[in-house]
Chain A
């Protein structure tokens, strides 16, 4: 039977057209639609923005008791400076961002460096839904149901060597597709970094979707990082390169203004941004501010990563 249940309705409405126009994927999807089998459905069709992921598993790394922000809020209020510095801009200017074909190169201090195509990334591990709090350094926050799996799954594939002390990340950059990039006041490509133990922490999510579907471009399609205990800018979008390195890598905001944005940038209500307080935040959709939690409320899981470190110095 081909009757669709309401549960199959997509959050975004762009996709059916995109799928329809992409004839090869569409044809590949036909048998899958008949058989209802995930394995037969073209993975690249699944990678298109707004494509619903079947069989997304529940995860234990989920905040249970908080209201999820609306799809509208999460997709129209974005800091993605490559697509403009106004938060309402990326939803418009990233609309035609080309995310297929896509691959992520994982290289550096590892035994088996290689490129992963998007199809390979999607097949590497069962996709989990993880509802995370997301706290921006600008003192607003959202709750998002991400889809993905721990970054450690991907990193283990390449077998990091003992020299891999840090992980360096890089966002895709193409000024032709991102003409507003040069006006943002930041050098691109956008780069970020983590210490190896942070990157291997199960909470560090390699995300390919949200709200049960693949990511829309303005939220970092087709694959991004989500680090819920750190300020949002650490969670790099539209990933193309991951490099295992021995010394602390450059991070874009940190390099642009080291006194304001630390390498660690863990959410910390006691360490203010030099220009504004970090003690409270505005959850989108709420009127009154709420207090900001240490490590954004993920202290039980991640605090031990920073034992003995002065978090005022290592902000």
Chain B
């Protein structure tokens, strides 16, 4: 029973990774950029929630909307101000990466100046009770995490597969040049991708703050890194892959924490990244694309 409890806790943690990994995966699928700033979007979402809930004292349902709006806007703004010029000029990959890194450091240090570098505690929000069944006991928030992430993934799959925008996204990721010739406004599609990715990260941020009620300006580093590992594990560019990778990573991390030691969990996550890159670089659900000359 204890094992099943840990498994559920792992899935709850994995749901958060999965939501963040989706953003990495989508952006990478469309512009082949590892968006370092994505982890910091979560941090921005966390602080947006903190400002609304604690400083402004808004009711919960309204405060939860704040990170979604703020992160969506931040994602679009970052794309517009930092990446767009490089993307339209077909800049070298390393320039894009360094810009992404610059945005990440900028966000971290901006929030360090605004809110100081010490951790802020979030008030309890929802689902703090414990669900018990037989020997099983999990907090409701863990169950909420899992349900929300599944709902978000189904929504995203519908968006990508059933709508015109989604079709355009797929086309852009397949071949941006050809998509442009077919009359798709690829710039718009890229912006929409960033916005959707950031909104998913915002949902992840709300769930994260509810489960681990502490935020600080550098929290995006490790969280973003783990979500990236999840995206690579599942196969970068694939939506179900990112979800699967997130869940797997969460479970693995939780099990190491519970049965081995808490000190090496981060190293375990990192070792997973190395092993995946060595054994199956395309990830569990990724397609192994041949590069054409």
To the question of whether A and B form a pair in one complex, the answer is no
